[in-house]
Amino acid sequence: MSIPLHKKIREDLLQKIKSGEYAENDIIPTELELADIYGVSRPTIRQAVQSLVNDGYLEKRKKRGTVVTKPKFQQEFTHVIESFDSEMNRKGLAPKTKILAFNVVKANEDVAENLRLKKGEQVYKLIRLRYAEDKPVVLVTSYIPYRLFPNFQEIDFTTEKLYKALEEAGYPVSAVARKLEVIKSDETTSDLLDIEIDEPLFYFHTQGFAQDRVPVEYSISKYRGDLNYFVFELSQ
């Protein structure tokens, strides 16, 4: 079966992007120019270009044209219970974790509510900066009930997966609830994630539940808007 023209053109444009012929921030030729170069109609070019826009290789900008951008990482954790490391490895990307803080604190009102604890109860506060291919992708602050996991501070979370540690302690995460917002980065977050101040961030609140809806994790994750996009899968 022959490959559709728009897919052939997409692959040729992608090869030019990956080889550096069209470098990051370059403006590619217009639809009319590309139609002339490839000898096809503008709708065919439009399909090829839109596919690369959808995958994060190109971005359409008003008054400038279509610009070469950094490809975004597709994040599927909105509908899959999976660790960041496992997801990155599955996609062929090298994950890395930097621990910024790991200590025992008293739960504030928000944390206590999400973990169904009394305000002031002890919780672990674990702050991690997660990388993919040496790029900082997400800043995650996780809270875990201390009384359920009294030996957690012995674990090295630079290499150990949080969900694996919860499972080995007898509380595997079987369900999650997530809330998504979009916020702007502040000075601290922009410095850690290597972005400009006021850049958009995907801001997730996650509750992880073990059997019988026992909350064992409450996490706040700030994903770079320029490097990530999320897939939501619904079924009826």
User: Measured between alpha carbons, how far is 228 from 76 in angstroms, rounded to an integer?
Assistant: 10
Instruction: Write down the pLDDT at residue 48.
Output: 94
All CATH 1.10.10.10 domain ranges of the chain, comma separated, are: 5-68
- Residue 173 CB burial class (10 angstroms; 0-12, 13-18, ≥19): buried
Residue 141 or residue 64, greater confidence: 141
What is the mean predicted confidence (pLDDT) over 182-202?
Answer: 91
Contact criterion met (CB below 8 Å) for 48 and 10:
yes
User: Measured between alpha carbons, how far is 198 from 231 in angstroms, rounded to an integer?
Assistant: 24
Residue 206's closest CA among 144, 161, 129? 144
Alpha helices in the chain (DSSP H): 5-19, 31-38, 42-54, 84-90, 109-115, 162-168, 187-193
User: Measured between alpha carbons, how far is 60 from 54 in angstroms, rounded to an integer?
Assistant: 11
What totals of helices (H) and strands (E) does the chain contain, helices first? 7, 10
Sole residue written with tokens 């951008």: 69
pLDDT tier for residue 74 given thresholds of 50, 70 and 90: low
Tokens of 134: 């040496």
The answer, yes or no, to whether residue 71 has pLDDT greater than 70, is no
Lowest mean per-residue pLDDT among 54-68, 102-116, 154-168:
54-68
User: Measured between alpha carbons, how far is 224 from 199 in angstroms, rounded to an integer?
Assistant: 8
Q: What percent of the chain has pLDDT over 90?
A: 60
The answer, yes or no, to whether residue 86 has pLDDT greater than 60, is yes
pLDDT tier for residue 140 given thresholds of 50, 70 and 90: very high
| Phi, psi for 232 (deg, rounded to 5) | -110, 125
Q: What percent of the chain has pLDDT over 70?
A: 86
Buried b (16+ CB within 10 A) or exposed e, 133-158: eeebbbbbbbbbbbebbeebeebebe
Q: How, if at all, do strands 228-230 and 73-75 pair?
A: parallel
All CATH 3.40.1410.10 domain ranges of the chain, comma separated, are: 73-230
Lowest mean per-residue pLDDT among 8-12, 27-31, 46-50, 133-137:
133-137
* Residue 148 DSSP SS3: coil
Instruction: Write down the pLDDT at residue 111.
Output: 97
Contact criterion met (CB below 8 Å) for 205 and 195:
no
Instruction: Write down the pLDDT at residue 88.
Output: 61
Domain 5-68: give its CATH code.
1.10.10.10
CA distances 151 to 98, 122, 125, 161, Å, are 21, 13, 14, 15
Instruction: Write down the pLDDT at residue 196.
Output: 86
Superfamily of domain 73-230: Chorismate lyase-like (3.40.1410.10)
Average pLDDT, the chain: 87
Question: In 10 A of CB 32, how many CB atoms?
Answer: 10
Quick one: which H or E segment has residue 130? strand 122-132
pLDDT tier for residue 3 given thresholds of 50, 70 and 90: confident
